């Protein structure tokens, strides 16, 4: 198994260039209190979460030979949730059995994440604990890489479009994947359709998101994401679109429609 930094000490000084944008930290710091409000500013993520989690669970189970119908199919695996925010992905990953480290550069979000996980009984209580093992740390992907960390499962969902250099960030995330491991990402495609729906529509017409949440120029085309993963030594395993259905107010996976939202996996060979 890959090693985890879930028990590491507080963040060491960075020696790698950070992916963090100060303005993004301020933005998400202001929104931190709304992470777990399904009808608040994070409502779009709450509606999207079931589909993202199903994709993540199934991809991990397929990669590691697990049964997705099992009670805790990811038991024994180490995972890092990069840009974890309030823990909307970290908590379900822990419930699926993984030993999870959630990292974020925003202190306010981590405070919310720790409080919510503690109230849910999910916070790590020691090696002898039989329950989910979940810990949070204020850190960046670059810091973990500098420290030599690696994980069976690296997850970064709806984060790539908020960093300074998406290609460099994805390369860093890819290098955190241990031998035989898996990376799962989700982000937005830089298309006119995405500009119309995910930027103008979601922020200014439907008011799903605060104005200015996204910068369309930061959206990442699938071939760009794939190139960054390959440069980090990974093989691209799958790319699937996420499509919104206004009639059900829900999302579905669509193999042939990556025009707006999409998910992608990267695989590292066992003998890497």
What pLDDT score was predicted for residue 204?
A: 46
Host H or E run for residue 222: helix 222-231
The listed range with the strongest mean pLDDT (8-12, 94-98, 247-251) is: 94-98
Sign (positive or negative) of CA dihedral 143, 73, 109, 174: positive
Question: pLDDT tens for residues 216-248?
Answer: 688 999 999 999 999 999 999 999 999 988 888
Asked if residues 174 and 227 have their Cβ atoms less than 8 Å apart, the reply is no
Greatest Cα pair distance, the chain, in angstroms, is 52
Q: Are 23 and 214 in contact (CB under 8 A)?
A: no
Give the separation between CA 91 and CA 81, rounded to whole angstroms.
10
**What CA–CA distances, in Å, run from 126 to 68, 72, 131, 151?**
26, 19, 10, 19
Secondary element (H or E) of residue 157: strand 151-157
* Domain spans in the chain, listed from the N-terminal domain onward: 22-267
Which CATH architecture is the domain 22-267 placed in? 3-Layer(aba) Sandwich (3.40)
DSSP count for the chain of H helices, then E strands: 8, 8
Side-chain-side CA neighbours of 226 within 13 Å: the count stands at 13
- In the chain, % of residues over pLDDT 90: 67
Between 203 and 10, residue with greater pLDDT: 203
Band of residue 15 on the pLDDT scale cut at 50, 70, 90: very low
pLDDT, average across residues 14-33: 72
Locate 252 and state its tokens: 């579905």
Q: How far apart are CA 101 and CA 192, in angstroms?
A: 36
- For residue 162, CA distances in Å to 69, 105, 142, 251 come to 34, 12, 15, 22
In the structure encoding, which two tokens stand for residue 136, read together? Answer: 């949070």
Does the predicted TM-score (pTM) go above 0.85? yes
State mean pLDDT over 153-173. 95
């Amino acid at each position: 198994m890959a090693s985890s930094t879930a028990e590491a000490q507080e963040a060491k000084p960075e020696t790698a260039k950070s992916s963090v944008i100060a303005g993004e930290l301020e933005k998400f710091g202001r929104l931190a209190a709304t992470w777990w409000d399904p009808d608040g500013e994070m409502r779009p993520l709450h509606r999207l979460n079931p589909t993202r989690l199903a994709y993540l669970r199934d991809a991990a189970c397929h990669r590691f030979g697990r049964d997705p119908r099992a009670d805790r199919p990811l038991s024994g695996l180490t995972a890092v949730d990069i840009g974890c925010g309030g823990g909307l992905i970290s908590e379900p990953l822990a419930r699926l059995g993984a030993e999870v480290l959630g990292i974020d550069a925003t202190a306010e979000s981590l405070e919310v994440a720790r409080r919510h996980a503690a109230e849910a009984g999910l916070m790590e209580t020691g090696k002898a604990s039989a329950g989910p093992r979940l810990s949070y740390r204020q850190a960046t992907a670059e810091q973990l890489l500098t420290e030599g960390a690696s994980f069976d499962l690296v997850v970064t969902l709806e984060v790539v479009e908020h960093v300074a250099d998406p290609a460099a960030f994805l390369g860093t995330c890819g290098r955190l994947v241990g031998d035989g491991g898996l990376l799962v990402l989700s982000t937005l495609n830089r298309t006119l359709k995405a500009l119309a729906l995910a930027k103008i529509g979601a922020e200014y017409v439907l008011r799903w998101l605060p104005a200015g949440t996204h910068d369309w120029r930061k959206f990442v085309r699938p071939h760009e994401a794939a190139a960054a993963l390959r440069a980090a030594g990974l093989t691209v395993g799958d790319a699937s679109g996420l499509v919104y259905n206004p009639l059900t107010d829900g999302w579905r996976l669509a193999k042939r429609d990556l025009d707006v939202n999409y998910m992608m996996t990267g695989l590292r060979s066992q003998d890497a």
